[in-house]
Amino acid sequence: MSYRPIIRWNRWLTIAIATVLISLGFHSWRNPQSIASDIPEQILLAQDVSAVWQKGSFPVENFQSYTSPFGYRASPVNGQRQFHNGLDLAAPRGSYIRNWWGGKITDLSDDTACGTSITVQSGAWTHSYCHMEGYVENNPNGRFLLDRDAGIQIALGQDIPAGARIGRIGMTGRTTGPHLHWVLKYNGSYIDPASVLREMFKGQTVSSAS
């Protein structure tokens, strides 16, 4: 079992998120018809919330753009109205994906529209990463996600720290281009990843100012 080492990149995280916040504006992405919720109020009201958000990692290296927001949209495949349960982050194929928050691998899959994917459980949070390079294999030692070209092997049940490289941007599953489809849930309810990134940016800003 192996994964890439953590490289601290808080400064990169701040620059990347700030640039997109200025150029696109998260508020325009909120969808009043969304069936999911924002970050629970009890998290936002916690006294040490700024310090907590600094523990998270931006999930994509070589980030280029946000290509599809969370909420209802016209399907890029058939044009039908559908609920998009995550945030799409474009990056060149083969770019590394990093684990957002430390936790345990609870699901590995490569046989759905999500393509090769990983799900991590971090307390009340569940975060999933779709359309990755590689494939899932079962052997006598367990169930693994393998991306041999990158030297990545992730095991079901493995503990993964925040910021660890857990895979690469691919085009597995149903997709029109290389990107990460990133899904967040809190206690089983979908959360808009843009709202989480906004809070992470605020936490980074507070840290830089102190």
The whole-number pLDDT of residue 28 equals 44
C-alpha span between 101 and 161 (Å, rounded) = 7
Per-residue pLDDT tens digits for 102-151: 999 999 999 999 999 999 999 999 999 999 999 999 999 999 999 999 99
* Contact assessment for residue 99 and residue 57, using Cβ atoms and an 8 Å cutoff: yes
The whole-number pLDDT of residue 128 equals 98
Higher per-residue confidence, 36 vs 174: 174
**pLDDT > 70: percent of the chain:** 68
In the CATH scheme, what is the homologous superfamily, with its name and number, of domain 10-209?
A: Glucose Permease (Domain IIA) (2.70.70.10)
The whole-number pLDDT of residue 109 equals 98
Query: Which residue ranges make up each domain of the chain?
Result: 10-209
Per-residue pLDDT tens digits for 170-210: 999 999 899 999 999 998 989 988 888 888 877 665 555 55
The whole-number pLDDT of residue 195 equals 85
pLDDT band, residue 16 (cuts 50/70/90): low
Among 72, 81, 93, CA closest to 190: 72
pTM of the model: 0.80
As a whole number, mean pLDDT of residues 96-103 equals: 96
Element (H, E) at 153: strand 152-155
The whole-number pLDDT of residue 99 equals 96
Q: In this structure, what DSSP letter does residue 4 have?
A: B
The whole-number pLDDT of residue 203 equals 66
The whole-number pLDDT of residue 33 equals 41
Higher per-residue confidence, 56 vs 96: 96
The whole-number pLDDT of residue 69 equals 84
Could you report how far apart the first and last alpha carbons of the chain are, in Å? Answer: 39
Burial zone of 85 (CB within 10 Å; 0-12 exposed, 13-18 middle, 19+ buried)? buried
Measure CA 129 to chain center: 6
The whole-number pLDDT of residue 15 equals 46
